[in-house]
């Protein structure tokens, strides 16, 4: 198999993993979660989001969390910014990496952003340009890249067109999101092949149909070297009820180990971290590897 020598794991547990939790997780627990994740060898850990507290109450403490966080040397802590006000708040907190969250479909753009497809790009343009002018690294998420609960199958050409608009805007990285977990390996490779190069692409899979690892392998074979995952398989999407948990970081690491692909993460330390977080949330981790390693 043609595989990359090394993969960057983009850990989304503290943001995407926790945003759907109904009970508010204390800021000190979130800060310790981030510290423990950094201790496993993860180098990119998405910390939080500067979305309006009304929409995602779980992340209302974003500024307090970043103020309390003891940032590990060599670790990046990106934050999600929905608009210019969110960017202002992120800059006030001294961040160096930000992400915007776009939709590949009209339906989800209206439900998630209260904007049309075209209007969302108009909203993101000043965010991206200002962030780049400030010297920040900028990522864009493109959600519903494989299927949409209201529109069904999403054409590859439509996703690629939306993705290219974000790349042309100046984002450094584009994460293709299988928000409701309906993607298949063949479709993954078809979509990646619709872009000029896999170099700026990342993938973000949910495991609704049990295809997240197969889809990840297909993406690696297509040249992608950055994979989003969530410690313990935490997460979902508050605006798409059919979205189940993210690809578990432990499951990803186990597969990469078996393939001989470098990633720099200590699996045992990661399992202990996810068990610790599961105890704080009061339920077991859905990760298969966490379950296997913590019960053996």
Would you name the residues annotated as active-site residues? 237
Question: Kind of pairing, strands 79-80 and 97-103?
Answer: parallel
Contact status, residue 79 vs residue 49, Cβ threshold 8 Å: yes
**CA dist., res. 118 & res. 153, Å (int):** 20
**CA dist., res. 215 & res. 181, Å (int):** 10
Q: Helices 27-39 and 267-281: crossing angle, nearest 10°?
A: 170
**CA dist., res. 142 & res. 163, Å (int):** 7
Q: Hey, how many other C-beta atoms are within 10 angstroms of the C-beta on 39?
A: 15
**CA dist., res. 277 & res. 280, Å (int):** 5
**CA dist., res. 235 & res. 248, Å (int):** 9
The token pair at 12 is 């989304």
Alpha carbon of residue 84 to chain centroid: 20
**CA dist., res. 240 & res. 222, Å (int):** 28
């Amino acid at each position: 198999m043609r595989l990359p020598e090394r993969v960057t794991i983009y850990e989304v547990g503290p943001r995407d993993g926790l945003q759907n939790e109904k009970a508010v997780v204390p800021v000190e627990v979130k800060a310790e979660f981030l510290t423990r994740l950094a201790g496993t060898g993860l180098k990119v850990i998405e910390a939080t989001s500067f979305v309006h507290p009304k929409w995602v109450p779980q992340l209302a403490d974003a500024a307090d969390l970043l103020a309390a966080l003891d940032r590990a040397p060599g670790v990046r802590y990106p934050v999600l910014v929905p608009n210019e006000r969110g960017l202002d708040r992120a800059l006030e907190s001294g961040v160096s990496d930000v992400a915007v969250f776009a939709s590949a479909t009209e339906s989800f753009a209206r439900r998630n952003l209260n904007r049309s497809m075209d209007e969302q790009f108009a909203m993101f343009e000043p965010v991206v340009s200002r962030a780049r002018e400030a010297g920040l690294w900028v990522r864009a998420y493109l959600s519903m890249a494989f299927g949409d609960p209201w529109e069904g199958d999403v054409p590859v050409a439509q996703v690629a067109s939306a993705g290219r608009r974000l790349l042309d805007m100046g984002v450094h990285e584009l994460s293709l999101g299988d928000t409701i977990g309906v993607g298949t390996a063949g479709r993954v490779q078809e979509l990646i092949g619709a872009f000029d190069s896999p170099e700026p692409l990342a993938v973000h899979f949910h495991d609704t149909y049990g295809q997240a690892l197969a889809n990840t392998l297909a993406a690696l074979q297509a040249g992608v070297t950055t994979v989003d995952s969530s410690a313990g398989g935490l997460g979902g999407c508050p605006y798409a009820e059919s979205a189940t948990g993210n690809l578990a970081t432990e499951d990803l690491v186990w597969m990469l180990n078996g393939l001989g692909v470098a990633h720099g993460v200590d699996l045992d330390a990661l399992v202990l971290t996810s068990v610790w977080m599961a105890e704080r949330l009061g339920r077991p981790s859905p990760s298969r590897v966490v379950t296997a390693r913590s019960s053996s």
